[in-house]
Structure 1
Amino acid sequence: MKSQIRKKLFFILPLSILASLLIFISCNTDGITESEYQIQYTRTAQLENVYENEILVLSNEFIQQTSLLETSIQEFKTTPTLVNLTKTQASWLATLKVWKQLELYNLGAVENSFIHFEINRWPTNSETINEHINGTETINEAFIASKGSSAKGISALEYLLFSSEENQEILNSFTTELNFERRLDYLLSLSNNLKTKANALLSLWENDKSDFISSVENGISGSQNQLTNAMITLIEEVIISKLGNPLGNNTGGIINLDDLEASRSITSLVIIQEHLNALKRCYNGDFLENEINWGYDNYLGLIERDDLDLSIIEAFNNCQTKIDAIHNPLTIELINNPENVENLQDAFRDLLVLIKVDMSNAIGTTVTINDNDGD
């Protein structure tokens, strides 16, 4: 049934895709086969869908959230109360959720700019942050911009806004402790810089739009190839860095809560959920409701691999089931029910094999080597 729907929808093209394909065909003096034409069409439709309906949408939402966060921090700096601290923490969390979806799309010109490191590099360097706060240089956005990525961005904001102590203790660090005024300056300057980087990220994507959508060739320079590798990289990060290290995979099974990303804010599982949301949407292209959404599933249908599509969807659903089975923050679950975290890691391992091996082989992806290896 799904493949029949694909065939009925196949020739309903957005005008921009139709125009680019007509130019492509008319300029190709050697001609292309119908199969090649369908492959080019599906890739172009998929890339335009992910660019217009996910990357641009998330980038603009990220700008909006960083602006709201900046405003919230300014209000907290002016009136440092528990109420305003709680509002700022909530605004930080909203910003984090958007970023952890957008983080998937670190490819092409964006990857080459290293801007993702400027926005969120984990773990943050708390020692360096404290050295800056206890120093004498004027703290403003220019100061933050001149410093290394491990002392700024989303993780640095988390370090200042959250801790294992009660919120009153956090508030005291901004009101009564040594250099509290410089701490407030650092907090606000971090938010200024983050908003600047959010706008710079959108500009990078807008400038790269044409190259991203038109790069439909096979090989490492093709955008679909880069997108697939970005999915693989993120899944491996979940398996190794976000779950494996805290589980003690490299330390003989010794649980290490300090290896959890965003453990101060108790949002480690929230991050993994946002990653899963982004990965699944990237796979099936379902960014908007009631639209023709082109994704990898359409491509697999084109090459008659609906069986693999079903397996991948089942793997995504299994990951969600394992997340839903965890009813505590990972800081608690790792101690009380580590088997649930192991089950989640295994579910992502199954997903990795399907994406990295089965799907990549089916669609002709060249898998590139990265620092992770989730096998």
Structure 2
Amino acid sequence: MSIKAIPFAIIAAVFMQASIGCKDNNPGEPVGAPFAREDMLKEMAENVIMPSYSKLLSDVQQLEADFEMFKSSPNQQEFIAVRTSFIAAYVSWQSCSPFEVGPAAEESLRLMLNTFTLDTSQLKANMESGSYDLFSAQNSDAKGFPALDFLLFRNDSLEQFTQEKALLYFEQNLDLISEKLNTVISKWNDGYDQEFASNSGTSVGSSLGLMVNELNFDFELLKNAKVAIPLGLKTLGVAQPELVEAVYSDKSKELLLANLIGIKNLFIGAEGQGIDDYLDNLDAKYGNENLSQAIINRFDNCETKISALNSSLKSEIENNPSAVEALHTELQNLVVLLKTDMPSQLGVQITYQDNDGD
């Protein structure tokens, strides 16, 4: 089996090609006490989705401001400021990644902003030629946050970053991120928030159905693209630590943790109603405990495993793989509840296909 890098874009495409999941295909409407799903969806939008997008937008705007300051005064201090604001924006993105419904799906936000691993050959060819379309499929893995990560952290020297072609490519990718994000937020503010809440059924295409699918989809990307593939679990045990997310800044652990917390936050609804509350209303059980609590406990177990790693996931894969394997085991344990038990109880159909064998 080849150990060539498996682009995140290909993984995503495989997940989304089929329309039938590998679990219960038609669970039907859940039975239980009356529950105002429309109110839950409204609160999820108000308490989770829009605040996450707003935080990301604020951080992207700070990155834009710091980059403009750097261009006017290209020195080490301003360079550090750009790096710092970039990491803040990349971390904020992780909480938005699961929201690939409605406007984000229309704009292919996840694909456009965070396809990894980065194709550095394509990126360098783009910079050298000066002729490229960042919206084209050819550049799906040569843009977005991974491209900015490369340009800022490929070495510690200002010299390469201050080259005209590098600055232009950075600016155009930053413009792409800002444009896509603003478009998504505008659509939510221009009526999709109401459409999202009112589409309160459980069938395929309902808001709950879409969110449950995207929560699972994003979680499996976390498990596979961010952990299993670099760890070598998809390549007969041959580790590929260079395939971690944000390999140049070496912030993969921080991003992994933020992504996990973002997915959990979507499940619990932050300070408002979430999917966990709906499961409780349905009296959904896992053994002798509430299914919602079992899921939260496993989220917490995963968070504990990530937090226990040292600051570099790449280094841990290279030098302490057993700790990363233990994390993967906890992630896999959570997949079972998220992808099988939860949708079955909610009456939601999983509509993407993967080859993960869960």
TM-score of the two chains, using structure 1 as the length reference: 0.80
Q: Say if 1:333 and 1:355 are closer, same or farther in 2 by CA, change over 3 A.
A: same
| Higher RCO, Cα 8 Å, sep 6+ | 2
* Structure 1 gaps, min length 5: 1-34
* Structure 2 gaps, min length 5: 1-30
Cα distance in 2 for partners of 1:109, 1:201 equals 5
Which residue does the alignment assign to 1:299?
278
Kindly provide the CA deviation profile for residues 220-259 of structure 1, in whole angstroms up to 9, marking residues without a partner as x: 1111111111111112112211111111112221111122
Query: Within 5 Å, which residues of 2 pair with 1:39-78?
Result: 39=35, 41=36, 43-78=37-72
Kindly provide the CA deviation profile for residues 301-347 of structure 1, in whole angstroms up to 9, marking residues without a partner as x: 21122621221121111111111221231111112110110111111
SS of the residue 1:150 aligns to: coil
Shift of 1:36: 7.3
Query: Within 5 Å, which residues of 2 pair with 1:8-47?
Result: 38-39=34-35, 41=36, 43-47=37-41
CA contact (8 A) 1:110 1:204 kept: no
Shift of 1:154: 1.1
SS of the residue 2:217 aligns to: helix
Equivalences, count? 322
Which residue does the alignment assign to 1:173?
160
Q: Say if 1:330 and 1:36 are closer, same or farther in 2 by CA, change over 3 A.
A: closer
Does 2:94 align with 1:115?
no
The code of the aligned residue for 2:193 comes to K
Q: Say if 1:263 and 1:159 are closer, same or farther in 2 by CA, change over 3 A.
A: same
Higher gyration radius (CA): 1
More displaced, 148-157 or 353-362?
148-157
CA contact (8 A) 2:113 2:143 kept: yes
CA contact (8 A) 1:80 1:174 kept: no
Cα distance in 1 for partners of 2:75, 2:355 equals 42
Q: Could you tell me the percent identity over the aligned residues?
A: 27
Kindly provide the CA deviation profile for residues 50-106 of structure 1, in whole angstroms up to 9, marking residues without a partner as x: 111111111122221111111111222222222111111111001011111001100
The code of the aligned residue for 2:276 comes to D
Cα distance in 1 for partners of 2:101, 2:134 equals 25
SS of the residue 1:86 aligns to: helix
More displaced, 187-196 or 340-349?
187-196
Cα distance in 1 for partners of 2:306, 2:142 equals 31
Kindly provide the CA deviation profile for residues 330-365 of structure 1, in whole angstroms up to 9, marking residues without a partner as x: 111112110110111111111111111111111111
CA contact (8 A) 1:248 1:256 kept: yes
Q: Say if 1:83 and 1:99 are closer, same or farther in 2 by CA, change over 3 A.
A: same
CA contact (8 A) 2:151 2:161 kept: no
CA contact (8 A) 1:216 1:222 kept: yes
CA contact (8 A) 2:32 2:282 kept: no
Name the structure where helix makes up a greater proportion of residues.
1
Please give the root-mean-square deviation of Cα atoms over the aligned residues, in Å: 2.0
Q: Say if 1:103 and 1:269 are closer, same or farther in 2 by CA, change over 3 A.
A: same
Which residue does the alignment assign to 2:14?
none
Q: Please point out which of 248, 262, 266 is paired with 1:264.
A: 248
Shift of 1:47: 0.6
Task: Find runs of 4+ consecutive structure 1 residues off by over 3 angstroms.
Answer: 143-149
